[in-house]
Structure 1
Amino acid sequence: MKWDWIFFDADETLFTFDSFSGLQRMFLDYSVTFSAEDFQDYQAVNKPLWVDYQNGAITSLQLQHQRFDGWAERLNVPPGELNAAFMNAMAEICSPLPGAVSLLDSLQGKVKMGIITNGFTSLQQTRLERTGLRDHFDLLIISEEVGVAKPDARIFDYALAQAGNPDRSRVLMVGDTAESDIRGGVNAGLATCWFNPHQRE
């Protein structure tokens, strides 16, 4: 085996992340029919917040609350309540991507594996338990817990320290996002593999 460690991103690398379906399910509990137009409006708020989070301009808590501020005001509920309901809905609908389980099964025992994710602790832990994949991984590194997000090299440095500081030339980072996973891995001196099933450029 060429690698001593392989680190994977989580969302859309190992797991499906259909936020539209998750929001539709979540809003049913509030008697709201969440439309495609509603989702576009949500993403217009959510995507810039994620950029700010990955750049260290806001905290994970600010992201999670601010993306639901508008809906919280409309429904007269705290934004934190909506975010928690969304996390629960996403955990309920999650599933491994096709081929993910067989890949992890084939690698288990041959290489140490970890996850480095910008996702949130409550969702990541629950998904791994529900899908039965927790035992495949030696490390679970979550930006919310570390305090910095990919592509910041510090989260990779933290992961490698937790892994016992292996030779970086024998560590591979696998992810679907060129900016956070691939650029972040390269900046940390790691080999990278861009999972790009949709042929993005």
Structure 2
Amino acid sequence: MSYELLVFDLDDTLFDFAETEKHALGNTFTSFGLPNGLAAYRDSYRAISSVIWDDLEQGRITLEELKVERFRQLFAQHELPIDASRFGELYIENLGRESHLIDGVEEMLSGLADYRLAILTNGFTRAQHARIAGSPLRDTFEAIIASEETGFKKPQPEIFDYAFKQLGITDPSRVLMIGDSLTSDIQGGMNAGIDTCWFNPHRHPNNTAVQPTFEIHSWAEFRVGRQAVNSN
């Protein structure tokens, strides 16, 4: 299949979210008078956040609720007298200041001049736009579409419908979705009826019914030809 539009996820696909989170969370704790907060509470936060993000994908919580709920639970667990709403707002602001690219991303994208490129992310609009604007990828994408602005999120097909409408796509067979999450990016692409490429740098086994069209383990492997994406 000859692709026209390549749609990329952002976090843990193009940007290193672990590094982003580390800096943003540490800086937010420091602003609230807890300079050791990252070391003390990061593990607890990540466990809580993982469940909350799964709740978002499954439609059990909204993105606006997620912004506060993950910190409300964290502070309740550790009996910290911190306003979760204020903390959540500053954390999103700090996220927007962090742009840490995964190895090979710039080189990979520089070879895609013949394709239309877009971002489709479940993240917060202002943070994601700010991170891209502060990175070497600032002029790379035709569109940056975040779930917050659409009212839908991956894996819902409606967010893909929204993106296709914004980008004037009438033939989904010419679209490829690339991302690291089986449950969000790959399932979402399948729900939208488009081909998918799973970015799996840690070589996680896939024992699910969610089967990507292609799988790669580094950006050096990503090759888009007139007929296919190759996994070497």
**TM-score under structure 2 normalisation?**
0.79
Shift of 1:76: 4.2
* Superposition map of 1:17-28 within 5 A: 17-18=17-18, 19-28=21-30
After the TM superposition, list the runs of 4 or more consecutive aligned residues in structure 1 that deviate by more than 4 angstroms.
Answer: 70-77
Query: For 1:122-159, what per-residue CA distance to the aligned partner results, in whole angstroms no more than 9, with x for missing partners?
Result: 21010011004232111111111111111111111111
* Greater Cα offset, 112-121 or 92-101: 92-101
Counterpart pick for 1:29 among 22, 28, 31: 31
Taking only aligned residues, the RMSD between alpha carbons, in angstroms, comes to 1.9
Indicate the residue corresponding to 2:101 in structure 1. 96
1:199 and 2:203 matched: yes
- Structure showing greater relative contact order (alpha-carbon pairs closer than 8 Å, 6 or more residues apart): 1
Q: Distance in 2 between matches of 1:47 and 1:89?
A: 20
Q: Distance in 1 between matches of 2:58 and 2:73?
A: 23
Indicate the residue corresponding to 1:10 in structure 2. 10
Q: Distance in 2 between matches of 1:164 and 1:105?
A: 24
Report how many residues are paired.
200
Confirm or deny: 8 A CA contact 2:190 2:196 kept in the other structure.
yes
Per residue, is there more helix in 1 or in 2? 1
* Counterpart residue type for residue 68 of structure 2: H
* Superposition map of 1:165-184 within 5 A: 165-184=169-188
Indicate the residue corresponding to 2:55 in structure 1. 52
1:40 and 2:43 matched: yes
Indicate the residue corresponding to 1:188 in structure 2. 192
Q: Distance in 2 between matches of 1:94 and 1:137?
A: 16
Distance 1:166 1:52, change over 3 A: same
Q: Distance in 1 between matches of 2:22 and 2:107?
A: 27
Q: Distance in 1 between matches of 2:40 and 2:157?
A: 36
Shift of 1:91: 2.9
Runs (5+) with no aligned partner, structure 1 = none
* Counterpart residue type for residue 186 of structure 2: I
* Counterpart residue type for residue 57 of structure 2: Q
* Counterpart residue type for residue 46 of structure 2: Q
Confirm or deny: 8 A CA contact 2:48 2:73 kept in the other structure.
no
Q: Distance in 2 between matches of 1:101 and 1:123?
A: 20
Confirm or deny: 8 A CA contact 1:87 1:123 kept in the other structure.
yes
